[in-house]
């Protein structure tokens, strides 16, 4: 009944995309070494800065979010550098893998999946190892639905004179990220999550400290990711390599849509949708996976109930035209994940939850139909 071309994406990215963004991307291509493109680039830069409250220029890298992570590390980490990775999920583990390629002194603070990392834990790491000069953190850990306290952790990192690289791939553009106020040195995000674009663009911004550090660090061999080249690009208002022009058309449009809603309202919407979905999950009698004080507002993880076949759950959801995500790695079959990013509002949430109840029941769960959806309805009816 639902073909792949109109499956509703309730996975934690890629997400549903606004029709205006599709329309914008359909615009005829144009040469990128032109004043026409530089004007679009300039607008994207200015509008993007407002989404993370920064004065720093934004670099646009043609590639996935993982390119952004790789680039942030290869440009700053040398073979003897002591790096601390804050790891509580698959995406933190990915960063850990990248840093360990560049230094033999890659350390990791690990907490169990579903747990958050606190500023105190980070402080203790610095007390154990005063040589740490570079810290990586996954702000919103998409694999576990955990939102780490970035602002507090950043204070500790800077109290100890280190640089902080923050993977904000599934937080920025939806939840609150304050690059300057929180003192993030290297900000990384991607196009296909809260920014509501197809995959293909990574966003990087550097604090003044990080930018200065670039002059001191010897260059790696990496050519495509060499941030010095991007710094030159930013000065001219374009990119060192051919940019994905259509994605820039789409970025300019999605940033307009974001600012028409207003970042404050947008963040509030993401938080409300997260709250409503979590309440619905608990009303169904299911258990949330992440620790209560660290729950993400853009992706929610819930435990697969006993006797429920998680692959059946996903299959029935897909038959109902909605794609959800399962657990990754060791979490496979144990949790399922829903993304509520970008355009997800009450209408989508009602649909997702109503379908989820059917799918859970058909996959073997002992739940009452409408138990979750009615909590969302009640909240909305009371508004």
Size of the site for a second copy (CB under 8 A): 40
Q: What is the nearest approach in angstroms of a second copy to the Cβ of residue 97?
A: 36
| Nearest C-alpha neighbor of 324 from the set 76, 100, 145 | 145
Contacts of 306 (CB under 8 A, 6+ apart): none
Tell me how crowded residue 261 is: count the other CB atoms within 10 A of its CB.
Answer: 13
Which residues from 166-205 bind a second copy, rule CB under 8 A? none
When binding is defined by CB under 8 A, the residue of 117, 179, 227, 320 that contacts a second copy is: 320
When binding is defined by CB under 8 A, the residue of 209, 217, 275, 358 that contacts a second copy is: 358
Tell me how crowded residue 241 is: count the other CB atoms within 10 A of its CB.
Answer: 14
Cβ proximity to a second copy, 106 vs 298, nearer residue: 298
- Please give the Cα distance from 191 to 197 (Å, whole number): 5
3-class secondary-structure state, position 89: coil
- Angle, nearest 10°, between helix axes 346-362 and 373-381? 160
Q: What is the nearest approach in angstroms of a second copy to the Cβ of residue 374?
A: 4
**Strand ranges inside the chain, DSSP E:** 8-9, 58-62, 82-87, 106-110, 132-138, 140-141, 146-147, 163-167, 186-190, 201-206, 299-303, 322-323, 325-326, 335-339
* Part in contact with a second copy (CB under 8 A); list of ranges 50-58, 142-150, 326-334, 371-379: 371-379
| Nearest C-alpha neighbor of 225 from the set 71, 101, 95, 57 | 71
* 3-class secondary structure per residue, 129-165: CCCEEEEEEECEECCCCEECCHHHHHHHHHHCCCEEE
* Part in contact with a second copy (CB under 8 A); list of ranges 99-107, 157-165, 285-293, 375-383: 375-383
Cβ proximity to a second copy, 124 vs 368, nearer residue: 368
Which residues from 326-345 bind a second copy, rule CB under 8 A? 343, 345
Q: What is the nearest approach in angstroms of a second copy to the Cβ of residue 267?
A: 13
Tell me how crowded residue 114 is: count the other CB atoms within 10 A of its CB.
Answer: 22
Cβ proximity to a second copy, 5 vs 216, nearer residue: 5
When binding is defined by CB under 8 A, the residue of 47, 123, 271, 361 that contacts a second copy is: 361
Q: What is the nearest approach in angstroms of a second copy to the Cβ of residue 306?
A: 19
Cβ proximity to a second copy, 16 vs 180, nearer residue: 16
Which residues from 229-288 bind a second copy, rule CB under 8 A? 257, 260-261, 269
- Please give the Cα distance from 11 to 60 (Å, whole number): 24
Residues that bind a second copy (CB under 8 A): 1-3, 5-6, 8, 18-20, 22, 26, 257, 260-261, 269, 320-322, 343, 345-348, 350-351, 354-355, 357-358, 361-362, 369-370, 373-374, 376-378, 380-381
């Amino acid at each position: 009944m639902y073909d792949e071309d109109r499956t509703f994406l309730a996975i934690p990215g890629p997400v549903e995309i606004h029709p205006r963004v599709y329309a914008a991307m359909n615009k005829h291509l144009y040469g990128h070494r032109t004043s026409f493109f530089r004007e679009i680039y300039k607008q994207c830069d200015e509008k993007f800065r407002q989404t993370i409250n920064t004065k720093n220029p934004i670099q646009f890298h043609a590639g996935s979010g993982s390119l952004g992570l790789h680039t942030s590390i290869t440009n700053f980490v040398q073979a003897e550098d002591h790096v601390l990775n804050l790891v509580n999920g698959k995406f933190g583990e990915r960063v850990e893998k990248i840093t360990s390629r560049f230094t033999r002194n890659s350390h990791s603070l690990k907490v169990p999946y579903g747990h958050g990392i606190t500023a105190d834990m980070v402080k203790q790491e610095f007390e154990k190892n005063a040589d740490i000069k570079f810290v990586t953190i996954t702000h919103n850990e998409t694999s576990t639905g955990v939102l780490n306290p970035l602002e507090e952790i950043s204070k500790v990192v800077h109290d100890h004179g280190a640089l902080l690289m923050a993977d904000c791939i599934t937080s920025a553009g939806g939840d609150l990220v304050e690059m300057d106020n929180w003192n993030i040195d290297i900000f990384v995000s991607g196009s296909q999550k809260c920014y509501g674009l197809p995959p293909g663009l990574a966003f990087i911004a550097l604090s003044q400290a990080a930018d200065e550090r670039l002059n001191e660090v010897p260059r790696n061999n990496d050519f495509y990711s060499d941030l010095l080249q991007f710094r030159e690009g930013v000065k001219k208002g374009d990119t060192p390599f051919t940019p994905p022009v259509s994605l820039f058309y789409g970025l300019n449009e999605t940033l307009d849509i974001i600012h028409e809603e207003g970042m404050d309202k947008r963040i509030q919407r993401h938080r409300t949708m997260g709250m409503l979905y979590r309440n619905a999950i608990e009303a169904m009698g299911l258990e949330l996976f992440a620790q209560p004080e660290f729950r993400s507002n853009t992706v929610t993880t819930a435990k697969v109930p006993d006797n429920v076949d998680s692959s059946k759950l996903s299959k029935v959801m897909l038959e109902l035209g909605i794609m959800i995500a399962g657990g990754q790695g060791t979490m496979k079959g144990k949790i399922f994940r829903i993304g509520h990013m970008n355009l997800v509002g009450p209408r989508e949430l009602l649909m997702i939850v109503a379908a989820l109840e059917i799918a859970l029941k058909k996959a073997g769960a002992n739940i009452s139909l409408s138990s979750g959806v009615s909590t969302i309805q009640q909240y909305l009816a009371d508004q």
